[in-house]
Amino acid sequence: MNIEFLSGFEKDLARIRDKKLAKVILSCIRLFEKANNLNEIPNIKK
């Protein structure tokens, strides 16, 4: 799946001080990149 980020997203990620939250966000991004369609992503709603 192709993922696009807004220009300020990288800055927002850099400002996160909570290591646990940063790991969760990165794991979600990896999950989205691996998925071929939205049905492969668990716990997602319209």
Query: How many structural domains comprise the chain?
Result: 1
- Radius of gyration from C-alpha coordinates of the chain: 12
pLDDT of residue 25: 93
Per-10-residue mean pLDDT of the chain, 46 residues long, equals: 88 92 92 90 84
Residue 42 domain boundaries: 1-46
What b/e sequence results for 17-43 when a residue is b if at least 16 CB atoms lie within 10 Å of its CB, and e otherwise? eeeeeeeeeeeeeeeeeeeeeeeeeee
Residues 6+ apart with CB under 8 A from 28: none
Given this model, what pLDDT does residue 7 score? Answer: 86
